Amino acid sequence: MTQPDNGQNKRASEIRSEVRREKLRLLISRSKRVTRDVLKNPMGLIGTAILIFFMFIAVFGTYLAPYKVDATKPGLFDSYLPSSSEHWMGTDVFGHDIFSKLLYGARTSIVVGTFAAVIASVVGATVGLFSGYAGGWKDEVLMRINDVMLSIPWLVLMILIAGLIGTISLLIIILIIGLTGWSATARLVRAQVLSLRERQYIERAKAIGAGDLHIIKTHILPNSFPLVFANTILTVAISILSEATLSFLHMRPYGSVTWGTMLSYAYECSAFQLGLHYWIVMPGLCIVFLVLGFTLLGYALDEVLNPRLRKR
């Protein structure tokens, strides 16, 4: 075989860059279409609106808050002040302004939820992909491990791990939630890969000598991505709830303001008896609406990205 001359080389690189440009164009137009479809869907529209509101608070909340909050130190005010014009929702047991804390909590919740969900999705997708594609005994072993993870009630497992670790930081909370929450995603991705693997174009790709890595990269991954993406958004919602529950049951991340932690102290101090209703009602409502926002967006994305559901 002769070496291709310079002209051919140049031609090949031109084609390659053109392909790359075309792919990018396709990706952009596709995301535009998905965004439009999601916003047309009433669930998607409401979900997006809720999330934009909370994102705004997550980014600017600490500047909007009337008072600075440092969770590692006691606050500047008396404890249990009733709501007034200075403190809209009163002050808590540490003498922190409850309204300010509420604004601070948005960032923590979104950060914990997002990172934990991304960890869970990456681990779950990797396990599911490998398991579904490899098949055979490797699949069997991984799925038995997955069964174990799915069987242990998530809260009990997280509580045991948190108890063993002792002192808990925000990072540890993220890791605990992410690393215990991947099994549902793994099962979902595995099922998708199993059905993709049997498609004809994969067989054709194999016939012309494509390697496993190539097939996974160009066919299986892009085709499983929409499923994983919608699922990740739904996992964010579950992770936010998990964080709140762990914080409420005293596995509070040290030095961070979270809505779960606020509720935990409010419960212990019997906030209702003290007349500080906002202390219990507001953090709970914030959690409900944030979770609702992610759930609605997740369902809408699922409907748009996974056309099987479209007929409903």
- 242: its two tokens: 């998990």
Contact range with another protein by CB under 8 A, out of 12-20, 31-39, 105-113, 144-152: 144-152
Residue selected from 53, 154, 229, 265 as contacting another protein according to rule CB under 8 A? 154
The residues in 275-294 that bind another protein, with binding defined as CB under 8 A, are 280-281, 283-284, 287-292
Per DSSP, what are the bridge partners of residue 97?
Answer: 91
Q: Determine contact, residues 158/176, Cβ cutoff 8 Å.
A: yes
Residue selected from 81, 93, 134, 152 as contacting another protein according to rule CB under 8 A? 152
Residue selected from 34, 210, 249, 305 as contacting another protein according to rule CB under 8 A? 249
Tell me phi and psi for residue 97, to 5 degrees.
-75, 125
| 151 counts as binding another protein under rule CB under 8 A | yes
Residue selected from 58, 186, 263, 276 as contacting another protein according to rule CB under 8 A? 263
| 248 counts as binding another protein under rule CB under 8 A | yes
Q: Determine contact, residues 233/301, Cβ cutoff 8 Å.
A: yes
Contact range with another protein by CB under 8 A, out of 31-39, 101-109, 111-119, 145-153: 145-153
| 95 counts as binding another protein under rule CB under 8 A | no
- 151: its two tokens: 């069987």
User: In the chain, where does DSSP find H-type helix?
Assistant: 6-40, 42-64, 98-134, 136-151, 154-165, 170-180, 183-197, 200-207, 212-215, 221-248, 259-268, 277-305
| 225 counts as binding another protein under rule CB under 8 A | no
Q: Determine contact, residues 278/90, Cβ cutoff 8 Å.
A: yes
- 287: its two tokens: 């959690």
Q: Which is nearer to another protein, 58 or 290 (CB)?
A: 290
Give the count of residues interacting with another protein (CB under 8 A).
46
CA distance 130 to 235: 21
Residues lying near another protein in the complex (CB under 8 A) are found at 144-145, 147-148, 150-157, 159-165, 237, 241, 244-245, 248-251, 260, 263, 267, 272-273, 280-281, 283-284, 287-292, 295-296, 311-312
